Structure formats: structure tokens, C-alpha cells
Amino acid sequence: MIKIEKLTKKYDDFVALDQLSLHVKSGEIYCLLGANGAGKSTTINLLLGFLKATSGSAFINGKNVDKKNLETKKDIAYIPENLMLYPTLTAMENLDYFSGIGGQNLKKEALETLLSQAGLQSDAFYKRTNAFSKGMRQKVGIAIALAKQAKVLLLDEPTSGLDPKASNEFGLLLQNLKKNNVAILMATHDLFRAKEIATNIGIMKNGKLLEQFVSKDISLSELEQVYLKTMIVKSFNHD
């Protein structure tokens, strides 16, 4: 569902992404780990068509992102680190508006069902989102993805700033989407959440994918050791 082949993005002499290759099938969650500047967000922005690749290719549901950008967008839902909703609108109104943009004309009962499936408490359905926590806004984002019937979900640091309870709830929502055969690519700093929910895990640094694991084949402590080893740069001064 997501296919990336030797994808590269350069800004003059700076290489933001260096020949990245990875695949994500329907019903899989691939977590990309790495420090800021590793290339995680660049990868997602290339898949969204916000950036144009210098070389290589990316496909969503078999369609080339560069050549058929509008078509690939129909299959994608995107939740950034800070999801922007209309603050003076309620959760219901936001969901109605964004699902309408996606071509859906849903009745009140259907909108409520989607918000409920996304884990939002019913007493928040008709509250303005300017009073929502980040976790509550993310749930509205999941409801929008459900309304769109997205086949691919792209997430950029979605659990950053969430408390442990909200982060756990968000992880459970992603597991439910996985069961519904959504292909999920998530950029994150959260090793624990990655190990808990991912099918596959990749570690990026300086635009390169340096390590890949099947999540069930590595323990959290092993993942942490590999991650730290990958992040540490030893420099030696010689006279």
C-alpha cells in the first residue's frame, strides 16, 4: 500500500533523505524512529506530495505520488504533530466539514458513530474544539480518517506531548485501524509506543534508514540499545 524505492531529497548540497526504501502493506504499522532532522518528516511530506523528490519514487496503492498526486491523496489521511481544527466549531461540525471536503455527506448519527469509534467521549461531541486537549483533537483526526475511509494513514509525531493515558488510547485506536487493513506509517520519538504497536520499525539518521526490525523479533531493551548506539556519534581529534 506504501512503496518507497530509493527516495532521495536534496536541498543544494544538503541531503535530507538518502535513497530510502521501505514497504508498508495493508494492515501493517511501520514506525520510523530517529532524532529531529533524521528525515522522518521529509519522508511523510514526500508521500503527501508537499515536496517533490530529487530522485527515486514513492507509490500509494500502486499509484506514483509525483505523477498522480491528486489520486493518491484520495487514499491518504494525515495527522500531524499538532492537528489544526477550526477552534470555534464543535467536534461534530469539524468532522462534518472535513468529511464533506472528502466527498462524504454524512448524517448526524453517522458522524456521532465515527467520533465514538475514534474514542471521543459523547459529552465532547458538541463542544468547541478550542477547549480540547491534544489527545481529543487527535481523536477527531482519527474520526476524519474513518469518514474518508482512508487506506493509508500518515502520522508525524502524533503522540508528542500526550500523557501516558492519552498515548495508550491513541495506540489502541491505531491497532483498530490496523485490524481494518489500513496501512500506517508513523514518525515518532516514542520507542515504547513504537515497540508496542508497530509491525515493523525503522531507525533513521541523517536521511538514511540504518536499521529495520520486525517488532515481534526484538525486545524493548534491545531496541533501546540499538537506537542509542545508532544515535551516538563518536568523534576523535587527532593532532
Entry pTM: 0.91
Looking at residue 159, what is its pLDDT?
87
Residue range 52-65, pLDDT digits in tens: 999 999 999 999 99
Domain boundaries, the chain: 1-75+151-239, 85-150
pLDDT of residue 234: 36
CA distances 124 to 31, 82, 87, 90, 199, Å, are: 30, 19, 13, 8, 32
Give the neighbor-by-neighbor strand order of the sheet with 183-188. Answer: 76-79, 152-156, 183-188, 29-33, 200-205, 208-214
Share of the chain above pLDDT 70, in %: 97
pLDDT tens-digit map of 5-53:
999 999 999 999 999 999 999 999 999 999 989 999 999 999 999 999 9
Rounded to the nearest 10°, the torsion over CA 43, 48, 51, 57 is 70
Average pLDDT over residues 54-83: 93
CA distance 189 to 213: 16
pLDDT at 233: 56
pLDDT in tens, 143-168: 999 999 999 999 999 988 888 888 89
CATH number for the segment(s) 1-75+151-239: 3.40.50.300
